[in-house]
């Protein structure tokens, strides 16, 4: 249990998916105009990344490894994730139209979001997590994404009202805000050695 | 006839530079620009995938049915990326260690799918290959430039050669925040000297215009449906 909580903290705060790993930058910069939209996108990302991590882990350990087809993982993952998002979309549309209305626009965006594919590959290549750990790692990553995008949206709603020199308006000021957030999140990296020691100690 | 091919190179390198003007492929630009050499290797790997995918898609443009073209492109690109990844792992292990996951993620790079959708599926293989070379070189130049600035300011070196002692370097430039700072700086400079870029779309797109050709198209449909 401690292990799973630490995996979530590690992925959400320390190696934050956007501010530290630079995955999913486009939607991070593009959708962070309003807090409400950001929170909706965050919700959709939590939903999709958690499910995608679980499905990718099952496919890899259940089908690709027994057949010795590990090198096929990229092709399999990207197609499965793309199909998965469409299924999730259809399911939500039928079963809960209100959730679909809130998340609908953002679901297709996530299909080719590098964060989804990136964490599915990282779970296997970099960390070697098992099924449960992969799910929590995906969940933690998505929480980290949501925290980052909602915070950036908060900053942007203030920045937009300020008088900014012309060349800095638009993308540069958003990137500068992201840089400052990234510096703040670097503070968490001090925790990394401690958490990794505990993770090793607690074992599988 | 020759001009048409050279025009593709000019277009990719300068007029529609994928990173600096079209603002595509931000994830790898920010992530691997920690050193100039990383920028070059990442740029060239992407160039290889882009040229081959443009060629294959252009050759098969009359065979692939229109309704399933995106999944078909994704499969083609993913296969090529797998080949490149395995080659790099076998022959250039140091590059694999430095770039790691970002080689895999070439598959979702919007420059590749974007060029397939915008150019290769409408033009002849020869032109498509030149378009791939132009765009790939444009991406490589931009990545190397960002890497050069970050490496110089952050470690005091250029391609590993010391320019000034490391004690005077600003360490944060090769940490994650430095990536945002350098790209912001590039856009500020281009705005100041009046080069038109898609920088406003980058931050005001509702995500529909940001990353990938695939999501851009599906996104418009979904917006209509929700309305």
Residue B190 and residue A165: Cα distance in Å, rounded?
14
CA pseudo-torsion sign A203, A62, A132, A120: positive
Examine the pLDDT at B212 and tell me if it is beyond 70. Answer: no
In a domain, A175, yes or no: yes
Within 8 A of B21 by CB-CB distance, chain A residues are: none
Within 8 A of B210 by CB-CB distance, chain A residues are: 26-27, 29-30
In a domain, A124, yes or no: yes
Q: Tokens 């549309």 sit at which residue?
A: A93
**A82 with A111: CB under 8 angstroms?**
yes
Within 8 A of A187 by CB-CB distance, chain B residues are: none
Examine the pLDDT at B14 and tell me if it is beyond 70. Answer: yes
Query: B192–A167: do the CB atoms touch at under 8 Å?
Result: yes
Residue B213 — very low, low, confident or very high, per pLDDT cuts 50/70/90?
Answer: very low
In a domain, A198, yes or no: no
B162 forms beta bridges with B157
H-run or E-run covering A50: helix A35-59
Substitution target from A22, A98, A174, A177 for chain B, most B beta carbons within 10 A: A22
CA of B99: which chain A residue's CA is closest? A21
Residues 6+ apart with CB under 8 A from B112: B46, B49, B50, B53, B77, B106
Q: What is the pLDDT of residues A18-73, one digit of tens each?
A: 999 888 887 888 888 888 888 888 888 888 899 999 999 999 999 999 999 888 88
CA of A120: which chain B residue's CA is closest? B101
Mean residue pLDDT of chain B comes to: 86
Residue B205 and residue B220: Cα distance in Å, rounded?
12
CA of B80: which chain A residue's CA is closest? A75
Considering only CA atoms, which of B126, B119, B122, B132 is closest in space to residue B13?
B132
pTM reported for the whole predicted model: 0.89
What is residue B111's predicted lDDT score, i.e. its pLDDT? 86
Residue B151 and residue B171: Cα distance in Å, rounded?
9
**B117 with B24: CB under 8 angstroms?**
no
What is residue B177's predicted lDDT score, i.e. its pLDDT? 94
Q: Give the range of the structural domain holding residue A112, as residue numbers without chain letter.
A: 2-188
In a domain, A199, yes or no: no
The minimum CA-CA distance between A134 and chain B, rounded to whole Å, is 17
For every residue of A66-134, DSSP letters joined together read TTT-GGGHHHHHHHHHHHHHHHHHHHHHHH-HHHHHHHGGGHHHHHT-HHHHHHHHHIIIII---HHHH
B208 contacts chain A (CB < 8 A): yes
Structure tokens, B8: 């593709």
CA pseudo-torsion sign A124, A127, A130, A134: negative
Q: Per the structure, how many domains does chain A have?
A: 1
A190 contacts chain B (CB < 8 A): no
The minimum CA-CA distance between B31 and chain A, rounded to whole Å, is 6
Examine the pLDDT at A188 and tell me if it is beyond 80. Answer: yes
Report the SS3 class of residue B194: coil
In a domain, A90, yes or no: yes
Query: B82–A71: do the CB atoms touch at under 8 Å?
Result: yes
Nearest by CB to B202, from A19, A30, A108: name it: A30
Among A5-14, A194-203, B51-60, B87-96, name the one with the lowest average pLDDT: A194-203
Report the SS3 class of residue B205: coil
Give the HSE-up count for residue B130: Cα atoms under 13 Å, Cβ half-sphere.
Answer: 15
In a domain, A145, yes or no: yes
Residue B111 and residue B134: Cα distance in Å, rounded?
12
B59 contacts chain A (CB < 8 A): no
Mean pLDDT across the stretch B39-44?
94
Query: B210–A182: do the CB atoms touch at under 8 Å?
Result: no
Q: What is the pLDDT of residues A78-118, one digit of tens each?
A: 888 888 888 888 888 888 888 777 776 677 667 667 888 88
In a domain, A195, yes or no: no
Considering only CA atoms, which of B52, B38, B43 is closest in space to residue B17?
B43
Cα–Cα distances in angstroms (integers) from residue B75 to residues A82, B12, B54, B69, in the given order:
12, 24, 13, 10
Label the pairing between strands B157-158 and B161-162. Answer: antiparallel
Residues 6+ apart with CB under 8 A from B149: B173, B182, B185
Q: Tokens 């259940």 sit at which residue?
A: A62
Considering only CA atoms, which of B136, B33, B26 is closest in space to residue B80?
B136
Q: Residue window 61-120, chain A: list those with CB within 8 Å of chain B.
A: 71-72, 74-75, 78-79, 82, 89, 100-101, 104-114, 117-118
Within 8 A of B107 by CB-CB distance, chain A residues are: 74, 78, 117
The minimum CA-CA distance between B189 and chain A, rounded to whole Å, is 8
The minimum CA-CA distance between B191 and chain A, rounded to whole Å, is 5
Using alpha carbons only, how large is chain A's radius of gyration in Å? 18
CA of A172: which chain B residue's CA is closest? B184
Residue B199 and residue B183: Cα distance in Å, rounded?
11
Residue B220 — very low, low, confident or very high, per pLDDT cuts 50/70/90?
Answer: low
Query: A186–B175: do the CB atoms touch at under 8 Å?
Result: yes
In a domain, A24, yes or no: yes
Among A150-159, B34-43, B190-199, B214-223, name the one with the lowest average pLDDT: B214-223
How many C-beta neighbours within 10 Å does residue A140 have?
A: 28
**A141 with A11: CB under 8 angstroms?**
yes
Residue that wins the pLDDT comparison between B95 and B202: B95
Within 8 A of B188 by CB-CB distance, chain A residues are: 167-168, 172
Nearest by CB to B205, from A23, A30, A104: name it: A30
A8 contacts chain B (CB < 8 A): no
B160 contacts chain A (CB < 8 A): no
The minimum CA-CA distance between A57 and chain B, rounded to whole Å, is 17
Residue B221 — very low, low, confident or very high, per pLDDT cuts 50/70/90?
Answer: low
The minimum CA-CA distance between A170 and chain B, rounded to whole Å, is 5
Residue B95 and residue B93: Cα distance in Å, rounded?
5
């Amino acid at each position: 249990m401690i292990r799973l909580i630490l995996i979530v903290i590690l992925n959400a705060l320390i190696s934050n998916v956007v501010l530290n790993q630079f995955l999913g930058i486009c939607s991070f910069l593009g959708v962070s105009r309003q807090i409400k939209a950001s929170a909706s996108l965050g919700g959709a990302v939590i939903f999709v990344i958690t499910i995608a991590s679980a499905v990718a882990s099952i496919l890899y350990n259940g089908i690709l490894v027994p057949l010795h087809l590990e090198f096929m993982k990229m092709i399999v993952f990207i197609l499965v994730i793309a199909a998965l998002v469409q299924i999730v979309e259809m399911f939500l549309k039928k079963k809960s139209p209100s959730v679909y209305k809130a998340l609908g626009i953002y679901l297709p965006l996530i299909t080719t979001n590098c964060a989804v594919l990136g964490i599915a590959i990282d779970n296997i290549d970099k960390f070697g997590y098992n099924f449960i750990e992969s799910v929590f790692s995906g969940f933690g990553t998505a929480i980290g994404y949501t925290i980052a995008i909602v915070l950036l949206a908060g900053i942007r709603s203030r920045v937009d009202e300020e008088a900014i020199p012309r060349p800095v308006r638009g993308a540069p000021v958003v990137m500068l805000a992201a840089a400052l957030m990234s510096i703040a999140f670097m503070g968490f990296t001090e925790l990394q050695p401690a958490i990794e020691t505990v993770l090793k100690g607690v074992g599988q | 006839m020759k001009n048409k091919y050279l025009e593709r190179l000019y277009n990719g390198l300068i007029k529609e530079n994928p990173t600096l003007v079209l603002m595509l492929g931000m994830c790898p630009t920010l992530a691997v620009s920690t050193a100039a050499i990383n920028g070059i290797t990442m740029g060239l790997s992407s160039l290889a995938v882009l040229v081959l995918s443009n060629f294959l898609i252009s050759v098969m443009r009359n065979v692939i049915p229109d309704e399933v073209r995106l999944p078909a492109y994704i499969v083609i690109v993913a296969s090529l990326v797998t080949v490149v990844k395995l080659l790099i792992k076998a022959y250039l292990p140091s590059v694999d260690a430095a770039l790691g996951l970002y080689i895999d993620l070439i598959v979702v790079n919007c420059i590749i799918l974007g060029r397939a959708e915008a150019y290769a599926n409408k033009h002849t293989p020869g032109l498509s290959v030149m378009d791939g070379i132009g765009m790939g070189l444009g991406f490589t130049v931009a990545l190397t430039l960002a890497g050069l600035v970050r490496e110089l300011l952050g470690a005091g070196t250029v391609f590993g050669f010391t320019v000034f002692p490391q004690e005077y370097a600003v360490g944060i430039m090769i940490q994650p925040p430095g990536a945002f700072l350098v790209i912001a700086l590039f856009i500020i400079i281009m705005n100041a000297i009046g080069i038109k870029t898609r920088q406003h779309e980058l931050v005001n797109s509702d995500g529909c215009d940001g990353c990938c050709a695939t999501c851009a198209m599906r996104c418009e449909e979904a917006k209509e449906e929700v309305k």
